[in-house]
Amino acid sequence: MKTTTWTNVPQCPNKMESLIVRPVLLSSQTVETLDTGKPFLQSLFIDLDGSIKTLRYYAGWSDKIHGKSLRVGDFMSITKHEPVGVCGAIIPWNFPLLMFMWKIAPALSCGNTVVVKPAEQTPLTALHMGSLIKEAGFPAGVVNIVPGFGPTAGAAIANHMDIDKVAFTGSTETGQLIQTAAAKSNLKRVTLELGGKNPCIVFADCDLQLAVEDTQTGAFYNQGQCCTAASRVFVEESIHDQFVRLSIENAKKIVVGDPLDPLTSHGPQIDQQQFDKIMDLIESGKKEGARLEYGGTPVSNKSLFIQPTIFSGVKDHMRIAKEEIFGPVQCIFSFQSQEEAIRRANSSRYGLVSAIFTSSMDRALSVSAALETGTVWINCYNSLHAQTPFGGYKMSGIGRELGEYALAEYTEVKAVTLKLKEAV
């Protein structure tokens, strides 16, 4: 495949910034697609672009992390923000490049060292980044990459007495194991970004075509393998049938095929285990009475491709309404009142993200205040930025990544107080 070269990128002596301008741009997107099966253009314009923006953002913070001075009577206190120390980063298989950057960028900007364990399904991206980090001139031992399985390499990081903090992105069940291990070892700090069963509330006064496109992109992006997947779409009853019809029409435009083909917008699932789990949940939806409106079958008998799938008539008690599918399955519900929509949206153990589609800003702001999620998107979806904190309520996690808020996860605050001499 023809490589891409970038020009007019400013040089910077900062090691993090220098990583951006080196050959990471030549092949990282191809490695990411080979590693995960996601469409090439998504690897290029979402994952690589997001990684560059994250590096640049935190490179800018590296000389701006400071404390405060406090006069307290006859005393003067200053606060200092010091590195936590050695940070373990356990990253998932769905966004191996982007999650690598989300972990190392804030950790390094605060002066820490990092031990990264990539997911066993997708080690190539992290290893490729390791070679580029070395070429960019990072000192030996600052970034360490340890491929391995969760029960061995991951558990070693969570239990190690010389690791001061662990940041994990993955399932809620694994997050609970990591928090337990951290507590039983040295009470290391823990940041957890876990699962989601994310509600979207579509009101009758919305821009209907926008709501159809954004919720469906949210449901099917990266083959549905996203913790932010738009997996519960609540549509006001008066527009429900029209919403379903337009969603079916939109799904028919999705191109399933070779991830390295620029025309492809939908690739394979990550592995056979995930494929089987998704198909089992699709079958459960059929058996429990949801209406299969589109898809629901493998593309062929010998592949890991699953057709984008739409269910309507979904009820809150069904497995597809409660369990994180992590696959290309859109579940559409109907509701009658705003109060009902909020109550049902919040009736989940998860609280990662949510979305509201309406033309009324008063309604959008009041509903956003009532939703129990770490992120609320209004008339948009998957709008993630390096400057904006990301994390969940309830069993969707602990702590925040991205933005200035992430810096607090990678620093210790020290207070130094001195007694002032009496004025003569």
Q: State residue 223's pLDDT score.
A: 96
Task: Parse the chain into domains and list their residue ranges.
Answer: 9-194+396-418, 198-378
Residues marked active site are found at 193
Ordered alpha helix ranges (H), 303-415: 319-322, 338-345, 361-370
Phi then psi dihedrals of residue 402, to 5 deg: 70, 165
**Cα–Cα distance between 154 and 341 in angstroms, integer?**
39
Would you state the pLDDT for residue 423? 57
φ, ψ (nearest 5 deg) of residue 219? -80, -35
- Fold for 9-194+396-418, please state it: Aldehyde Dehydrogenase; Chain A, domain 1 (3.40.605)
Residue 6 is predicted with a pLDDT of: 28
Q: Select 198-378's CATH number: 3.40.50.300, 3.30.70.3270, 3.40.309.10, 1.10.287.3240.
A: 3.40.309.10
pLDDT at 302: 74
- In contact, 353 and 373? CB cutoff 8 Å: yes
Integer Cα distance of 389 and 137 in angstroms: 29
What does the CA dihedral 218, 356, 202, 222 come to, rounded to 10 degrees? Answer: 0
Question: What's the whole-model pTM score?
Answer: 0.90
**What are the 10-residue block averages of pLDDT along the chain, 424 residues in total?**
30 44 59 92 92 96 94 93 97 96 97 97 94 94 96 97 98 96 97 97 98 97 96 97 98 94 94 96 97 94 92 97 97 97 97 98 97 98 96 97 96 95 65
Q: How far apart (Å, rounded) are the C-alpha atoms in residues 172 and 192?
A: 9
Q: Give the closest residue to 230 by CA, choosing from 391, 382, 78.
A: 382
Q: How far is CA 63 from CA 9, 16, 223, 315, 408, in A?
A: 21, 12, 39, 52, 15
pLDDT at 421: 84
